[in-house]
């Protein structure tokens, strides 16, 4: 059986990687503690859904924008790279053309 060293190693049943397990586990812990708050039930349900949607999106969505990556890059890594790019100071140099 050939090894695929380009992707993440799937830890649970060949389906979930450690990164995905961490996102889903953190989401369920956050949902549990958010549900303990003494706020209206409608807000609890909306908050729980928002937390779960963000966690599932970060865990499973891949961006196929990069041509040299065959399987795409995960959304969380894409966001980190985008934030790092936005944070870097960009300098632009204008050179005069001597003709």
For residue 72, name the pLDDT band (cuts at 50, 70, 90).
Answer: confident
Average pLDDT across the chain, whole number: 82
For residue 63, name the pLDDT band (cuts at 50, 70, 90).
Answer: confident
Flag whether pLDDT at 86 surpasses 80. Answer: yes
pTM (2 d.p.)? 0.70
- pLDDT at position 17 is 85
Burial classification of residue 25, based on how many CB atoms lie within 10 Å of its CB (0-12 exposed, 13-18 middle, 19 or more buried): exposed
């Amino acid at each position: 059986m050939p090894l695929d060293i380009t992707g993440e190693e799937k830890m649970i049943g060949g389906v979930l990687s450690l990164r995905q397990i961490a996102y889903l586990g953190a989401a369920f812990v956050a949902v549990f503690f958010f549900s303990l708050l003494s706020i209206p039930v409608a807000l609890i349900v909306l908050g729980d859904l928002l937390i779960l949607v963000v966690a599932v999106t970060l865990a499973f969505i891949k961006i196929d924008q990069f041509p040299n990556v065959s399987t795409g890059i995960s959304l969380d890594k894409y966001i980190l790279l985008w934030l790092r790019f936005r944070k870097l100071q960009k300098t632009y140099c204008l050179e005069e053309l001597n003709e």
